[in-house]
Amino acid sequence: MTQQQYQQCIDACLECMNACNVCYISSLKEYDLAMLRDCIRLDRECAEICGFAAQAMTRGSDFIAEICELCVKACEACAAECGKHEHDHCQACAEACRKCAEACRLMAAVA
């Protein structure tokens, strides 16, 4: 695993974390909060897991593969939920989650 590959995965995690946080805040401002309940919950959880994954890779943790596997699951769940909603912030979050899931899937396979 090269430093560039680590950095690409870290960048994808941080981008996803930011997209999830934007979606979370934007969803709280929407009229129909009940419809976005699962989206809001998954945004927060995914953002935290992505941030943790980025930190773990930065530290060179011994558990990178396992943490990245968890990040893949969180990102896939968040992408599936956000993808159901037509809001721009939800669609942007879903896309960032899919990219992060792919980067973490590759990292987990080789870490």
Q: Tell me the two tokens of residue 21.
A: 């946080």
* Domain boundary assignment for the chain: 3-109
| pLDDT in 10s for each residue of the chain, 111 residues | 678 889 999 999 999 999 999 999 999 999 888 999 999 999 999 999 999 999 999 999 999 999 999 999 999 999 999 999 999 999 999 999 999 999 999 999 988
What does pTM read for this prediction?
Answer: 0.95
With CA atoms as reference, report the closest residue to 103 among 4, 6, 9. Answer: 9
Q: Looking at the domain that runs over 3-109, which CATH code has it been given? A: 1.20.1270.360
